[in-house]
Structure 1
Amino acid sequence: MRPEIAVLEIQGQFRVYTEFYRSDAAEKTIVMVNGSLATTASFAQTVRNLHPQFNVVLYDQPYAGKSKPHNLHERPLTREMEGQILLELIDHFNAEHIMSFSWGGTAALIALSHRPKRIESAVISSFSPVLNEHMRDYLHRGVKHLGDHNRYEVGHLINNTIGKHLPSLFKRFNYRHVSSLDLHEYDQMHYHISQVLELDPDNYLTAAKNINVPVLFMNGAWDEYTAADDAVLFARYVQNSSFSTIEATGHFLDMEHKAACRDSREALLNFLKPAAETSRPTYTLVQHHAFAC
């Protein structure tokens, strides 16, 4: 399963690395939105869950992964900028669906609030409208370590909190990835966390009230940081919302074990029907980076 690779110019100021997994059997296309500090590799298992029922688009933010060499990194990107990048990718690939992971949910919600004409539905995974005490503790410690450029502490913080339910092999990949990032990537995450901690959540999510397509919010039952019980509060903001809790799994959902992979796939395809017809696949947890939040 080899993707079509392209580096696209966005808004005349960014160049974005993309992977397009085309399927002759698919009628619809879905764009995947990474969490912070993550790259296209973080969606390896999700691609296997969705392809070939869908054409799948992955991309790296301008500051991350294979987009990094093509951009100058003169200043951090706002979530509004990331939302605009996503809107252009939706248009370029003629996508009908989007799916985000963790903090990628902010860019996804911003893009959806602009009501892109082609989008039919969206999936927001491992995200919550509430900064509960667990998430606040994680973010306060994270902003300190990121500000200090302390690679050791950043890597261990992620594995000991949101990544604590990952298999040990994935934790090693995760630590290796996070502790070897460029300094501008730490600065980008530091900027984003600082914004999140300073903003009133009600103001932060006001744009979500403009969303006019069905949205599935998917969370792990063991996730203390973006808790399923908190996620249901999205019903206040998104009129056509539904919720799925993946049992016996944490923040990283389909990466954590085979049953979580199966249940995540089932929740996705049940929501995305009739665009997808479920089949009975073989589940293999691939060896890829788990990645930050």
Structure 2
Amino acid sequence: MRPEIAVLDIQGQFRVYTEFYRADAAEKTIILVNGSLATTASFAQTVRNLHPQFNVVLYDQPYAGKSKPHNIIDRPLTKETEGQILLELIDHFNAEHIMSFSWGGAPTLVALAHRPKRIEKAVISSFSPVINEPMRDYLQRGQQHLGAFDRYEVGTLINSTIGKHLPSLFKRFNYRHVSSLDLHEYAQMHHHINHVMEATTHKQLKAAKRINVPVLFMNGEWDEYTSAVDARLFKNHVRDCHFSTIKNAGHFLDMEHKSACLDSRNALLSFLTPAPEPSRNRYRQVHANHAFAI
């Protein structure tokens, strides 16, 4: 399963690395939005859950992954800018669905609030509109370590908090990735954290009211940082709201163990795939005036 790779020009401002997993029988395309500091590699399992039922699009933000060599990043990107990039990619790939993970929920909400015409459904995973106490502690420690560009502490913090339910192998990969990033990527995450700390629940929910497509909020049962309970605050603000709690799973959902992976896949496909219409029995007359179903 090899993707079609392209580096796209976004309004002459950014160059964005993309991977397009085409499926000949798929009728819909879904675009996946990374969390902070993540790259296309983070969605490897999610691609397997969605392909070949859907065409799947992955991309790296201009400051991250394989987009980095094509951009000069002189200041952090705002969630509004990331939302505009997402809108451009939706148009380019003619995507009908969006799925985000963690921080990727922020620019996804921005994009959805613009009511892109092609989008039919969205999935927002591991995201909530509030900063609870565990999240506040995580963010405050993150501010300290990122401000000091302390690679060891940043990697250790992520694995001991939001990543604590990951298998040990994934934790090693996670630590290796996070502790080897460029300084501007730490500055970008520091900017993300500052924005989250300054944002209010009221502002998040007010923007959500403009969304006019069905949205599934998917959270892990064990995720104390973006909890399923907190995510349900969206129910009075998003017009067509759905919720799924993945049992025995933390923040990283389908990456944590097989059962959580299967449950995540089932939740995604049941939401994104229309239920088949009930079949109607049709009858035809035979010589003895008996009827039977075809």
Q: TM-score range by the shorter chain?
A: over 0.9
SS of residue matched to 1:98: strand
Task: Output the amino acid matched with 2:43.
Answer: F
Task: Output the amino acid matched with 2:186.
Answer: Y
TM-superposed CA distance for 1:201, in Å, is: 2.1
**CA–CA separation in structure 2 for the residues paired with 1:233 and 1:200:** 13
Find the counterpart in structure 2 of residue 284 from structure 1: none
Find the counterpart in structure 2 of residue 51 from structure 1: 51
**CA–CA separation in structure 1 for the residues paired with 2:251 and 2:160:** 12
Retained in 2: the 8 A contact 1:96–1:118?
A: yes
Find the counterpart in structure 2 of residue 255 from structure 1: 255
Find the counterpart in structure 1 of residue 282 from structure 2: none
**CA–CA separation in structure 1 for the residues paired with 2:80 and 2:211:** 15
Task: Output the amino acid matched with 1:113.
Answer: A
TM-superposed CA distance for 1:236, in Å, is: 2.3
Find the counterpart in structure 1 of residue 166 from structure 2: 166
Find the counterpart in structure 1 of residue 93 from structure 2: 93
Task: Output the amino acid matched with 1:180.
Answer: S
Retained in 2: the 8 A contact 1:102–1:127?
A: yes
Alignment partner of 1:140 is 2:140? yes
Q: Could you report, residue by residue, the CA deviation over 1:236-285 in whole angstroms, capped at 9, with x for unpaired residues?
A: 22110000000001000000000000000000000012289xxxxxxxxx
**CA–CA separation in structure 2 for the residues paired with 1:57 and 1:172:** 26
Task: Output the amino acid matched with 1:120.
Answer: E
Find the counterpart in structure 2 of residue 19 from structure 1: 19
Moved >4 Å (runs of 4+) = none
* Equivalence map 1:169-188=2 (5 Å): 169-188=169-188
* Equivalence map 1:182-261=2 (5 Å): 182-261=182-261
* Equivalence map 1:99-118=2 (5 Å): 99-118=99-118
TM-score, normalization by structure 2 = 0.93
Q: Could you report, residue by residue, the CA deviation over 1:182-226 in whole angstroms, capped at 9, with x for unpaired residues?
A: 000000010111111112221233211100000000000000000
Retained in 2: the 8 A contact 1:76–1:187?
A: yes
Find the counterpart in structure 2 of residue 3 from structure 1: 3
Alignment partner of 1:131 is 2:101? no
Retained in 1: the 8 A contact 2:154–2:178?
A: yes
Task: Output the amino acid matched with 1:32.
Answer: L
* Equivalence map 1:66-77=2 (5 Å): 66-77=66-77
Q: Could you report, residue by residue, the CA deviation over 1:128-177 in whole angstroms, capped at 9, with x for unpaired residues?
A: 01110000000000011000000000000000000000000000000000
Retained in 2: the 8 A contact 1:28–1:275?
A: no
Task: Output the amino acid matched with 2:217.
Answer: F
**CA–CA separation in structure 2 for the residues paired with 1:24 and 1:104:** 28
SS of residue matched to 2:261: helix
SS of residue matched to 1:205: helix
Aligned residues: 276
Task: Output the amino acid matched with 2:249.
Answer: T
**CA–CA separation in structure 1 for the residues paired with 2:275 and 2:184:** 40
**CA–CA separation in structure 2 for the residues paired with 1:171 and 1:48:** 20
Gaps of 5+ in 2: 277-294
SS of residue matched to 2:18: strand
**CA–CA separation in structure 1 for the residues paired with 2:265 and 2:122:** 15
Alignment partner of 1:119 is 2:119? yes
Task: Output the amino acid matched with 2:34.
Answer: N
TM-superposed CA distance for 1:101, in Å, is: 0.2
TM-score, normalization by structure 1 = 0.93
SS of residue matched to 1:250: coil
Cα RMSD (Å) of the superposition? Answer: 1.0
Retained in 2: the 8 A contact 1:76–1:188?
A: yes
**CA–CA separation in structure 2 for the residues paired with 1:275 and 1:58:** 26
**CA–CA separation in structure 2 for the residues paired with 1:106 and 1:205:** 11
